[in-house]
Amino acid sequence: MIGLEFLQIYWWFLVSLLGGLLVFMMFVQGGQTLVFTLAKDDLQKDMIINSVGRKWELTFTTLVMFGGACFAAFPLFYSTSFGGAYWVWLGILFCFIIQAVSYEYRKKPDNFLGTKTYEIFLFINGSVGVILIGMAVATFFSGSSFSLNDHNFVQWQNSMRGLEALSNPMLYTLGLSLFFLARIGGCLYLINNINDDEIRLNARKAVLKNTLIFLPIFLVFLAWVFLKDGFEYSQDGLVSMVKYKYFINLLNLPAVFAMLVIGVVLTLYGIFKGAFTKSIYAIVYYGFGIVMAVTALFLATGLNNTAFYPSFYDLQSSLTIKNASSSHYTLNTMFYVSLLIPFVLGYIFVVWRSMDSKKITADEIKNDHHAY
């Protein structure tokens, strides 16, 4: 049987990778928020919505896979976060429900709510939903208000059940960073997927505008994370506060630090190509960069003896990859099942390329009676 410590790190890496893939896939949400700014008429709206609409299931599936991996590999985290801070997660779920409903009913005949209503729903999903996810993830650094008893039953220490995060201004830095990052990704994807000169021109302008807003907000988030005290656990499991913990983690984990730097460089290069060149393949560099950078940040929250879901109410209730993981047998069994993941990703890649081999045009949308 494979060693328990290796399996815990392995599964935290997979959870981190899913987090990176989820943030990349949020270009769908970003594209939805661009409908009212990039499109100059109803036809262009239809082109944008059908472009990102062909991928919306993948974003939702990735979110479900992220939650499923947490449930399987780190069930105590799943029960504590989803069962304790449930108002936040219910808000996120609501945003994704109205997304699915909108794609299904936006173009239905005799739609009594009207097309505009469902377009607003899509905007809510791409804005409120993304910001809430960002703020929920930011609690990995700030901590949450919960305690665990001897039977690992979670007790949230206020009636807000996770919504108290809305009172912490620093958590908005990650939420808003994700929002504008998703819009950048949406622009880059539309440049690649839609064969329309006007939409591509407007999208390139929007890449630059959103980047100029994203960068200072994200730099504030990074400064907060790297300069704040972090939650470290000792060999006997006792949790204490350590200055500059997350910055120290990157220094002590050179592979993770290198992944973060390469990811940031690729992301910025993709943004540059999207904003200042005629290339339609900027989304490729952006995609690889985002996945690497976000994966590295997730890894930094859980490795090097760091509590990845800390409690500022009761430090000793903080969750680590050691005390929150499934049993040795469960992790070992799932390890062999996870070896099928590359084949699944390969299938997704082939289907994706097949779907995107033909770019969306105005004529296609005009003649497609099954369009969103």
Domain ranges of the chain: 4-367
Residue 290 Cα to chain centre, angstroms: 10
Q: What is the pLDDT of residues 341-368, one digit of tens each?
A: 888 888 878 878 887 778 888 888 887 7
pLDDT for 351: 78
Q: Which two tokens stand for residue 251?
A: 């220094």
Q: How far is CA 313 from CA 87, 142, 143, 155, 270, in A?
A: 19, 11, 8, 11, 41
Predicted pLDDT at 114: 84
**Rounded to an integer, what is the distance from CA 35 to the centroid of its chain?**
21
Whole-number pLDDT of residue 274: 96
The alpha carbon of residue 140 and the mean position of all alpha carbons in its chain are separated, in whole angstroms, by 14
Residues 143, 170 contacting (CB under 8 angstroms)? no
> Across the chain, what does the average pLDDT equal?
93
Return all residues near 174 (Cβ < 8 A) that are at least 6 apart: 134, 135, 137, 138, 221
Percent of the chain with pLDDT over 70: 99
pLDDT value at position 151?
Answer: 83
Measured in degrees and rounded to the nearest 5, phi and psi for residue 132 equal -65, -40
> Which residues does 240 contact at the CB level (< 8 Å), separation at least 6?
231, 232, 233, 234, 315
Beta strands in the chain (DSSP E): 146-148, 154-156, 230-233, 239-242
Mean pLDDT of 184-206: 96
Of the pLDDT bands very low, low, confident and very high (cuts 50, 70, 90), residue 99 is very high
- Rg over alpha carbons for the chain, rounded to the nearest Å, is 21
Q: How confident is the model at residue 262, as a pLDDT?
A: 98
Mean pLDDT score, 300-320: 95
The amino acid present at 139, given as its one-letter code, is T
Residue 288 pLDDT exceeds 90: yes
Q: Is it the case that residue 183 has pLDDT exceeding 70?
A: yes
| Res 18 pLDDT > 70 | yes
Q: What is the pTM of this model?
A: 0.94
Say if residue 196's pLDDT is above 70: yes
Average pLDDT rounded to a whole number, residues 169-180: 97
| Band (107; pLDDT cuts 50, 70, 90) | confident
> What pLDDT is stored for residue 370 in this prediction?
67
Token pair listed for 308 = 């990845």
Phi, psi of 241 (to 5 degrees): -90, 135
Cα dihedral 37→274→215→306 (10° resolution)? 110
Give the pLDDT confidence score for residue 369 in this predicted structure.
66
pLDDT at 243: 96
Poorest-confidence range of 66-70, 103-107, 280-284?
103-107
Reported as a pLDDT band with limits 50, 70 and 90, residue 142 is: very high
> Which residues, 6 or more positions from 79, have their beta carbon under 8 angstroms from its beta carbon?
152, 154
Looking at 34-43, 106-115, 236-245, 310-319, which range is the least confident one?
106-115
Matching residue, tokens 């989304």: 283
Q: State the pLDDT at residue 340.
A: 86
Task: Using the Cα atoms of residue 319, residue 345, residue 89 and residue 72 in order, give the sign of their dihedral.
Answer: negative
Query: In the numeric block, which tokens belong to residue 41?
Result: 């008429």
Asked whether the predicted pLDDT for residue 247 surpasses 90, the reply is yes
Tell me the pLDDT band of 149, cut-offs 50, 70 and 90. confident
pLDDT of 323 over the 80 cut: yes
Query: Distance between CA atoms of 343 and 351, rounded to whole angstroms?
Result: 12
